[in-house]
Each structure stands twice: as C-alpha cells, then as structure tokens.
Structure 1
Amino acid sequence: MTTITLKVSEADKTFMQAMAKFEGVSLSELIRTKTLEALEDEYDARVGEMAYQEYLDDLENNHKAITLDEMAKELGIDL
C-alpha cells in the first residue's frame, strides 16, 4: 500500500482523531474512506450534470427520448 503525507493544523488533527475515535476506526482509515466517499460523490454529481446537460441538448435539438423497453427492443435484449 502507498503512503501519502498530509499536512494539517494541530486543531484539524485533533478533530480528525476525535472523529476517528467516534467512528471506531484508525485515523488513516477515516481519512481514506471519507476522502474516497467525497470524491465518489463529486464524480457522481458531475457525471449526472453532464448527462442532464446532454438530455437538455437532445431536447433542444428535437431528439426524442425513448423508454427502457424501447431501448431493450432496439438492442434485442429481453427484460
């Protein structure tokens, strides 16, 4: 496993240690999981925004939306 060094203030360290104790995990585990959760949430939000913008662009260009059943039929997939 790779090590990453993170510089924080003493107050931030104290707070993170308290949160790790509260969560019942190590400080390293707390930072790793909370960081990854936040990044995954940000990624999901951005992908969602991009998909929504693509949908709006399709509406603006008169592209018709189709249902899941219609898509499955086009692709020859049984639902």
Structure 2
Amino acid sequence: MMSTSDSTFLKKKKKKVRLPPKRGQVKAKMFKRLYKIVVSAFSKAEESHKRSEGEGGGDGRSSASATSPKSSYSTGANGGNS
C-alpha cells in the first residue's frame, strides 16, 4: 500500500506531455508574426511621411523646390552672343 506522501510525490513528478502542434499551426503562427511586422513597418512609414508633409507644406513640396534660383545668365535679347 502507498502512503499519501508517495502518491503526492508521483503526482508532482509527472510533467505535462507536450504534443507537437497540429498540422498548419506553425505556418499560421509564422504568417501571423510576419503580418504584424509588415503592418507595423508600414504604419511607421506612413507616420513619418505624414510628419514630413506637415513640415513642407500641404502638397508635399518643400519651399526650396517651389521657387527657382536666380541665375547670372541672361536669356533675353540684351545679353545674347551675337
């Protein structure tokens, strides 16, 4: 006959058996993680893009590209080589 301390010891010693995952679970977990990474990357890029648009103007152009630089070359009839 077993004493109560022996039966308690046997119950504690048993480990939970871990079976391999069911078919398709590994791929499902991998794609789920990949999806989260891609969505996170796109949302960060979108935030960065929106932030840069707010600083440069509403149409996405910076003030430097909206005005052309002054040139020392003359394009009129007075400054041509004739």
Task: Compute the TM-score of the two structures, normalised by the length of structure 1.
Answer: 0.46
Indicate the structure with greater helix content: 1
